[in-house]
């Protein structure tokens, strides 16, 4: 028992060191690695939001990219037609992701198991087709381009450094909020539903409403990540909200370790590095390497990278 406070203090100390390192990274990183690190943070927030469903509620989804895309399109459209305020575009992105998740979740959470998985896949593909066909809003297959740089007060987020610091601050805030939710009684209830839904229902819990709330919460933070994507690359395409994005996010959660927010971040970093950095040096074979890594983790590390590192970290 006495080792637990010491372990928590050590974890907080290492988290502070990591955060400080990330904060000063733009001062010494070249442009391309900084852009890659920004992309990792955006994707990590998406993976963490998905982990609320997969790891804590037991609802593996193949349509999570739809809420990511909804947030990205909403942020981009608002920046083009209404305001370039970074805060407002991010709030609109989060609200759009939550609204899309509320519509889809009201149907999806009634199903279980493989039926839930396939239903989320179908809903995600419907959202993808909507992005392809609604040219007046999304730009169709050409994507939504010409998104202006947003600003915080008088500071225009135009340089790679400014965008990175905005993405980092939003990422830390989002992960902190989801961490508090996971440690709250609401998070405990979600884990109870994941472990034994029938018993939770017998105890009087309104399981449908809890699952729907988790779905909406997850969609809100996925939309927030999408808003950061629009700010970062200033272009949104239907592929950003398609099956490929959903699959990669699910890969990140499983590789990192379910029900572990830090594991989801670790898995997201590995996925982006293999896809964008290592894949380019291997002649475009990044997806093949990523598939091999995924199979190896599933068979050799059932609890993911975070689970494999946890005993060594405790020692």
pLDDT tens, residue order, the chain (315 aa): 445 555 567 777 777 888 898 999 888 888 889 999 999 999 999 999 999 999 899 999 999 999 999 999 999 999 999 999 999 999 999 999 999 999 999 999 988 888 898 999 999 999 999 999 888 888 888 889 889 999 988 888 888 999 999 999 999 999 999 999 999 999 999 999 999 989 999 989 999 999 999 999 999 999 999 999 999 999 999 999 989 899 999 999 999 888 788 889 999 999 998 887 776 677 667 788 888 888 888 888 877 787 777 666 565
pLDDT attached to residue 274: 87
User: Quick check: 98 and 52 in contact, CB under 8 A?
Assistant: no
pLDDT attached to residue 70: 95
- Give CA–CA dist 315/37, Å, rounded: 30
pLDDT attached to residue 4: 55
pLDDT attached to residue 169: 95
pLDDT attached to residue 302: 76
User: Quick check: 289 and 274 in contact, CB under 8 A?
Assistant: yes
State phi, psi for 257 to the nearest 5 degrees.
120, 120
DSSP bridge pairs for 151: 85, 156
User: Quick check: 92 and 84 in contact, CB under 8 A?
Assistant: no
Distance of CA 181 to the CA centre of its chain: 15
Neighbouring residues of 246: CB distance < 8 A, sequence distance ≥ 6: 61, 62, 63, 64, 65, 66, 121, 124
DSSP state of 146: -
pLDDT attached to residue 211: 95
SS3 content of the chain, % helix, strand, coil (to 5): 80, 0, 20
pLDDT attached to residue 287: 80
pLDDT attached to residue 37: 93
């Amino acid at each position: 028992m006495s080792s637990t406070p010491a372990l928590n203090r050590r974890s907080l100390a290492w988290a502070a060191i990591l955060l400080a390192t990330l904060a000063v990274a733009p001062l010494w990183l070249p442009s391309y690695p900084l852009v890659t690190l920004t992309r990792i943070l955006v994707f990590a927030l998406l993976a963490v939001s998905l982990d609320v469903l997969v790891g804590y509620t037991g609802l593996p989804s193949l349509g999570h990219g739809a809420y990511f895309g909804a947030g990205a399109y909403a942020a981009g459209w608002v920046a083009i037609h209404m305001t370039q305020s970074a805060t407002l575009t991010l709030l609109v992105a989060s609200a759009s992701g939550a609204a899309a998740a509320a519509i889809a979740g009201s149907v999806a959470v009634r199903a279980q198991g493989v039926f839930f998985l396939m239903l989320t896949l179908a809903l995600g593909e419907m959202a993808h087709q909507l992005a392809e066909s609604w040219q007046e809003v999304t730009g169709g297959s050409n994507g939504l381009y010409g998104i202006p740089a947003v600003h915080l007060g008088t500071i225009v987020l135009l340089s790679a450094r400014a965008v990175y610091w905005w993405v980092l601050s939003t990422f830390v805030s989002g992960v902190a909020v989801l961490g508090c939710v996971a440690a709250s009684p609401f998070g405990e209830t979600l884990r109870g539903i994941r472990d034994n839904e029938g018993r939770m229902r017998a105890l009087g819990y309104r399981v449908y409403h809890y699952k729907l709330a988790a779905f909406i919460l997850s969609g809100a933070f996925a939309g927030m990540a999408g808003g950061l994507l629009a700010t970062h690359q200033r272009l949104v395409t239907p592929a950003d909200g398609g099956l490929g994005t959903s699959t990669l996010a699910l890969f990140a959660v499983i590789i990192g370790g379910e029900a572990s927010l830090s594991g989801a971040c670790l898995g997201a970093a590995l996925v982006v590095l293999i896809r964008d950095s290592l894949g380019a040096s291997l002649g475009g074979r990044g997806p093949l390497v990523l598939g091999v890594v995924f199979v190896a983790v599933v068979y050799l590390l059932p609890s993911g990278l975070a689970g494999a590192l946890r005993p060594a970290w405790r020692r």
